[in-house]
Structure 1
Amino acid sequence: MERLLQARGWLAALLGGALTLMITGGIMALPGQLFNVPSLKDDIRSGPDVSVAVVKVQLEDEGMSRVTRKDYRPSTSLRQFLSRQGAASSPEFDQRLQSVGAVNLERLTLRVVFTGHRNQTVNIVNIEPEIVERGAPWSGTLFSVPSQAGSPTMNMMFDLDRPRPVARKARFDEEEGRITPGGPFFGERTITLKDTGQQVVMVRTVTARHYVAFRLKATYMLGNRTRSVTIDDHGKPFQVTATSGRSDRLEDVKYRRVFALEGNFSLCQIVPVTTSACEYQGS
């Protein structure tokens, strides 16, 4: 009889312990059932939901032609640099021309790196240009460094000549030998960011008619909340200009001053004509 009572006591203790564990576990799990814990954590988390790093890149199909808004007469130092062999292939080339206000001709490519900083998943649902200025193509000084052709990998493309440019899938047209816009980029997809996760997007912007200054606006969802982040060129808008005077002949484009690429990758002024000898003879 005593052994039976002991066995019953042990069984009751076991059942009591199991019941305690079940109740404790239920209580511990209760907040997760009643509240969105990741959302609560994000509400008290400092810093941005998403950080963005952007770099202007030069791909092989773009060339490195640059244009100034008004006639720019290079300083003696810049002229000496441009006349050096290999000047156009030097990293200093772009830095020098940016410093005098020259912008990309017809195409601008951006490498945009998004990083998530939230417990909840960040879903980027749209990226669109915000046009700051759109006007006639710049017709000041052209530094002509044409494309060497190629078929680079690209994700996204914007035609800035459209009234409201839409993010399109970028595809390489083998017949035309260039990047062309495809279907809507966000038609069937989003860009998803986990906490500390990154996504890289290569963005190509093009114009054949205008000078355009713009920023990019990325719209994203954090839970059920819609937010946005602005992407620009270190506080300034990005800039790109179409060719002034549509022509396949360099001699026929409409610029106040033109520097043409030489066979040794230097640049020589051909408009207005100077007394210095240039290898460039035209076609």
Structure 2
Amino acid sequence: MTLPIDPYERRPVPGPPQPPNPVARPPMSWWRRHRVLRNWLAGVASAVAVSVISGVVLAFVTPTAEPPGGTQSSPPAPDQPFTVNMLSRGEVCLPYVVDADPATLASPHRDASAARGSRPSDDEVVAWMGKVGATPSKGNLVLTVQGVSGKAVVLQGLDVEIVERSPAPAAPAVFIIEDGCGAEESPRLFNIALDQPNPQAKPQDGVAVGGAKIPAAAFPFSVSDSDPEIFLIEANPGRCDCTWRLRLRWVGDGRSGTLVIDDHGKPFRTSGYDEPAAQVYYERTANNCPSDVTWCLLPS
């Protein structure tokens, strides 16, 4: 995310985009709404169409005119024997650091009169982030990588580049849209500690549908058209306000290269904060928040 993230900007990359195929968002968790992820977790060893169903598409490696929430595939560049789809979403339960007066800060709901207990959609959260300049307190990326032929492509490693690192704000206003979100499924899980001197994408145990553990697995990975991989990247800022990007190293079909993964040509931005000193506000549709204000202060 320099932030705010612009959810409507796209990086031009050669190759025609696939036609959009917006779908209605059913009221279920975003992992269960991700068709490719469900197929992968179920062990389906057949060709998987690289697409994102629901969620909010913020940064693809290819251009698209779709607004957030559409379906998009990413054709490979001429020298790249695989496709990459990247999903970065507006997390409704994630704390956001916003330099704003709570009395004037807009609601993430398009309809400001939303009923108590209702959650804004992923699209609404992303639009709100861009509108108010909200910085997420954790970076969440989902990378779907798939070859374009039966030939295997070896993904050698995922490197982390810190573009800029500064201290996290000492006593910020922090805004939480919803609280009490439970754990969800995760595929190949990697955690990045952005405030470390040399941050690495470290493999972690994941969780499959039903709660079964997915053992941590480190690079390299092999992908083909019938054997994709899906990676969940969690970037934790610790006590820094960091901008960062990723570099995916690969070898395949007699070629090699490095793919830069960022936010439409700009680095992502993620900011921690001093929790004891922060002023934490909840959106009015959350529990225990008066209905006559948009954001209410969490009692200390």
- TM superposition score category, shorter chain reference: 0.5 to 0.7
Deviation at 1:161, TM superposition (A): 1.6
Question: Distance between the aligned counterparts of 1:109 and 1:79, measured in 2?
Answer: 19
Residue 299 of structure 2 corresponds to residue 282 of structure 1 = yes
- CA 1:73–1:263 in structure 2 vs 1: closer, same or farther (change >3 Å)? closer
Alignment counterpart, residue 136 of structure 2, candidates 104, 124, 148: 104
Question: Distance between the aligned counterparts of 1:145 and 1:235, measured in 2?
Answer: 28
Question: 1:200 corresponds to which residue?
Answer: 230
Q: Is the Cα contact below 8 Å between 2:145 and 2:228 reproduced in 1?
A: yes
Deviation at 1:278, TM superposition (A): 7.8
What are the residue-to-residue correspondences of 1:135-146 with 2, within 5 Å? 135-138=166-169, 141-145=173-177
Q: Is the Cα contact below 8 Å between 2:191 and 2:203 reproduced in 1?
A: yes
- CA 1:110–1:74 in structure 2 vs 1: closer, same or farther (change >3 Å)? farther
Deviation at 1:238, TM superposition (A): 1.6
Q: Is the Cα contact below 8 Å between 1:88 and 1:267 reproduced in 2?
A: no
Question: 2:25 corresponds to which residue?
Answer: none
Q: Is the Cα contact below 8 Å between 2:154 and 2:252 reproduced in 1?
A: yes
Question: Distance between the aligned counterparts of 2:242 and 2:114, measured in 1?
Answer: 32
Residue 96 of structure 2 corresponds to residue 66 of structure 1 = yes
Unaligned runs of 5+ in 1: 1-44, 174-181, 269-274
Question: 1:133 corresponds to which residue?
Answer: 164
> How high is the TM-score relative to the length of structure 1?
0.60
Question: Distance between the aligned counterparts of 2:294 and 2:101, measured in 1?
Answer: 21
- CA 1:230–1:126 in structure 2 vs 1: closer, same or farther (change >3 Å)? same
Unaligned runs of 5+ in 2: 1-76, 208-214
Question: 1:165 corresponds to which residue?
Answer: 199
Q: Percent identity?
A: 18
- CA 1:198–1:99 in structure 2 vs 1: closer, same or farther (change >3 Å)? farther
Amino acid at match of 1:217: R
Question: 1:54 corresponds to which residue?
Answer: 86
Select the structure that is richer in strand. 1
Q: Is the Cα contact below 8 Å between 2:282 and 2:296 reproduced in 1?
A: no
- CA 1:279–1:50 in structure 2 vs 1: closer, same or farther (change >3 Å)? closer
Alignment counterpart, residue 267 of structure 2, candidates 237, 240, 244: 237
SS of 1:89 mapped into structure 2: coil
Question: Distance between the aligned counterparts of 2:82 and 2:102, measured in 1?
Answer: 43
SS of 1:129 mapped into structure 2: strand
Deviation at 1:65, TM superposition (A): 1.8
> How high is the TM-score relative to the length of structure 2?
0.57
Amino acid at match of 1:212: C
- CA 1:49–1:108 in structure 2 vs 1: closer, same or farther (change >3 Å)? same
Question: 2:190 corresponds to which residue?
Answer: 156
Deviation at 1:85, TM superposition (A): 3.6
- CA 1:136–1:191 in structure 2 vs 1: closer, same or farther (change >3 Å)? same
Q: Is the Cα contact below 8 Å between 1:123 and 1:191 reproduced in 2?
A: yes
- CA 1:261–1:172 in structure 2 vs 1: closer, same or farther (change >3 Å)? farther
* Bigger Rg, structure 1 or 2: 1
Deviation at 1:111, TM superposition (A): 1.0
Deviation at 1:74, TM superposition (A): 7.0
- CA 1:46–1:237 in structure 2 vs 1: closer, same or farther (change >3 Å)? closer
Cα offsets for 1:164-215 (capped at 9, x unmatched) = 1112122379xxxxxxxx97x52xx522112475321111111221011111
Cα offsets for 1:26-68 (capped at 9, x unmatched) = xxxxxxxxxxxxxxxxxxx945323221111367xx8232113
Question: Distance between the aligned counterparts of 2:90 and 2:163, measured in 1?
Answer: 23
Question: 2:248 corresponds to which residue?
Answer: 218
Question: Distance between the aligned counterparts of 1:201 and 1:125, measured in 2?
Answer: 14
Q: Is the Cα contact below 8 Å between 2:108 and 2:125 reproduced in 1?
A: no
For these two proteins, the number of residue pairs brought into alignment is: 211
Amino acid at match of 2:281: F
Question: Distance between the aligned counterparts of 1:72 and 1:278, measured in 2?
Answer: 10
- CA 1:50–1:279 in structure 2 vs 1: closer, same or farther (change >3 Å)? closer
- CA 1:210–1:56 in structure 2 vs 1: closer, same or farther (change >3 Å)? same
- CA 1:151–1:117 in structure 2 vs 1: closer, same or farther (change >3 Å)? same
Amino acid at match of 1:122: V
Cα offsets for 1:87-143 (capped at 9, x unmatched) = 8711123421232221212x2211111122356421001112211111122465421
Amino acid at match of 1:235: G
SS of 1:48 mapped into structure 2: coil
Q: Is the Cα contact below 8 Å between 2:177 and 2:286 reproduced in 1?
A: no
